[in-house]
């Protein structure tokens, strides 16, 4: 049994951006499925899935990142290998086009697990990464999302002068390979207008993502401060071997977070050890998709 599930971030999406996500997601799923069926490991496939999400430009990650309060991108990422729960994490990047690749290189080629900002970018150069300009990561599509949507894109019940549209914060993936190994990964272009130096849940293992061959894999999206307070991904992972369904595990995780933090914008995807796929979100949209041995054609949800 093998499976892939990905998400493009929970949030208050514009219809034009959802259309772009609907076009990108099946292509990414099919590409990664082919790699997985050709024998690639779960961790290799999860990195490739998130890399493609970073390059799609319609998601808030990599080449679609948003500006902080100094009009610069600050990106974070994590990769977790469920075989040994090794992980690599990076934060505060502004010149790396694919943070997930650097996070995985931290996992495989560094004595450390978590590198930040200038130190992470210095390590990247030592490992042969090419640095890009911060401006290259701020696409016109994402910059346009900082203003209210047009009247034609708003439901009648929404307030035209105050509602903000756009991608929430994160892309993510969970993978189960044919050998029973799990992996999860996340990448984010940050929260729009955040204070320089702010780091959310994405690179914090157990908060935004978790993977273990004994439990399964989880990847979250949404308000990072709340996700960290509830240690959301690990909390959900602990319930995956139980009797509840994967969808119930995600729904229950969001409910428990809101019991701790109050109402929050959150989305979750997961895989359990049987290869069952689950997702749940409480926002306008969370474009995502899945493909598996039992359903070997891309299926899209949340958009």
Name the helix (H) or strand (E) containing 246: helix 246-261
Task: Give residue 158's pLDDT.
Answer: 39
Domain encompassing residue 105? 3-148+163-295
**What's the number of domains the chain is made of?**
1
List residues bridging with 222 in a β-sheet.
Answer: 266
Distance CA 145, CA 269 (A): 25
Q: Which long-range contacts (CB under 8 A, 24 or more apart) does 70-75 make?
A: 70/196, 72/134, 72/196, 73/134, 73/137, 73/138, 73/189, 73/190, 74/190, 74/194, 74/196, 74/197, 74/198, 75/99, 75/137, 75/187, 75/188, 75/189, 75/190
Residue 157 lies in a domain: no
Residue-wise pLDDT tens digits, 207-244: 999 999 999 999 999 999 999 999 999 999 999 999 99
Does residue 165 register a pLDDT over 90?
Answer: no
Residue 132, C-beta contacts closer than 8 angstroms, at least 6 positions apart: 95, 96, 97
Task: Report the CATH number at residue 229.
Answer: 3.60.20.30
Does residue 73 come out as left (phi exceeding 0), alpha (psi in the -120 to 50 range) or beta?
beta
Distance CA 240, CA 219 (A): 13
Task: Give residue 144's pLDDT.
Answer: 58
Q: Is 211 buried (19+), middle (13-18) or exposed (0-12) by CB count in 10 A?
A: buried
Give the number of residues written for the chain.
303
β-bridge pairing 288-292 and 86-93? unpaired
Least confident of 81-85, 168-172, 219-223: 168-172
Q: Where are the alpha helices (DSSP H) in 99-223?
A: 99-109, 117-126, 140-143
Residue 302 lies in a domain: no
Residue 212 lies in a domain: yes
Residue 158 lies in a domain: no
Query: Cβ(102)–Cβ(77) under 8 Å?
Result: yes
Residue-wise pLDDT tens digits, 281-296: 999 999 999 999 999 9
Span 241-254, average pLDDT: 97
Work out whether the CA dihedral 194, 116, 226, 64 comes out positive or negative. positive
Residue 64 lies in a domain: yes
Distance CA 79, CA 138 (A): 23
| pLDDT confidence band for 4 (50 / 70 / 90) | very high
Does residue 262 come out as left (phi exceeding 0), alpha (psi in the -120 to 50 range) or beta?
left
Q: Average per-residue pLDDT in the chain? A: 92
Least confident of 166-170, 203-207, 236-240: 166-170
Span 86-95, average pLDDT: 98
Residue-wise pLDDT tens digits, 16-70: 999 999 999 999 999 999 999 999 999 999 999 999 999 999 999 999 999 999 9
Residue 255 lies in a domain: yes
- Eight-class DSSP state of 16: H
Task: Give residue 169's pLDDT.
Answer: 74
Q: Tokens representing 182?
A: 């799990």
Does residue 168 register a pLDDT over 90?
Answer: no
Active site residues: 170
Name the helix (H) or strand (E) containing 34: helix 15-37
Query: Cβ(80)–Cβ(183) under 8 Å?
Result: yes
Task: Give residue 142's pLDDT.
Answer: 64
CA distances from 51 to 140, 150, 279 (A): 20, 31, 21
Least confident of 108-117, 157-166, 184-193: 157-166
What is the pTM (predicted TM-score) of this model? 0.92
Task: Give residue 139's pLDDT.
Answer: 76
The rounded percent of the chain whose pLDDT value lies above 70 is: 90
Residue 155 lies in a domain: no
| pLDDT confidence band for 141 (50 / 70 / 90) | low
Residue 137 lies in a domain: yes
């Amino acid at each position: 049994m093998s499976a892939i599930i990905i998400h493009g971030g929970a949030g208050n999406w514009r219809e034009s951006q959802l259309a772009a996500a609907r076009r990108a997601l099946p292509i990414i799923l099919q590409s990664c499925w082919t790699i997985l069926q050709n024998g690639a490991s779960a961790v290799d496939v999860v990195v490739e899935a998130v890399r493609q999400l970073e390059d799609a430009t319609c998601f808030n990650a990599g080449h679609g990142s948003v500006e902080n309060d100094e009009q610069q991108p600050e990106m974070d990422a994590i990769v977790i290998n469920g075989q040994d729960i090794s992980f690599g994490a990076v934060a505060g990047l502004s010149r790396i086009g694919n943070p997930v690749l650097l996070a995985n290189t931290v996992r495989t080629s560094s004595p450390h697990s978590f590198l930040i900002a200038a130190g992470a970018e210095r390590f990247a150069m030592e490992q042969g990464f090419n640095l890009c300009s911060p401006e290259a990561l701020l696409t016109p599509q994402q910059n346009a999302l900082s203003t209210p949507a047009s009247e034609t894109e708003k439901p009648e019940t929404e307030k035209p002068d105050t509602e903000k549209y756009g991608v929430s914060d994160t892309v993510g993936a969970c993978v189960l390979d044919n050998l029973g190994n799990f992996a999860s990964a996340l990448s984010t272009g940050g929260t729009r207008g955040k204070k320089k130096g702010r780091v959310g849940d994405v690179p914090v293992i157990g908060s935004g993502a978790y993977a273990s061959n004994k439990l399964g894999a989880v990847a979250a999206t949404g308000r990072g401060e709340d996700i960290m307070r509830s240690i959301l991904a690990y909390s959900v992972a602990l319930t995956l071997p139980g009797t509840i369904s994967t969808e119930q595990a995600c729904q229950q995780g969001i409910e428990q977070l809101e019991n701790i933090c109050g109402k929050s914008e959150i989305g979750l995807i997961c895989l359990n050890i049987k290869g069952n796929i689950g997702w749940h979100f409480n926002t306008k949209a969370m474009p995502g998709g899945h493909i598996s041995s039992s359903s070997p054609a891309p299926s899209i949800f949340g958009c």
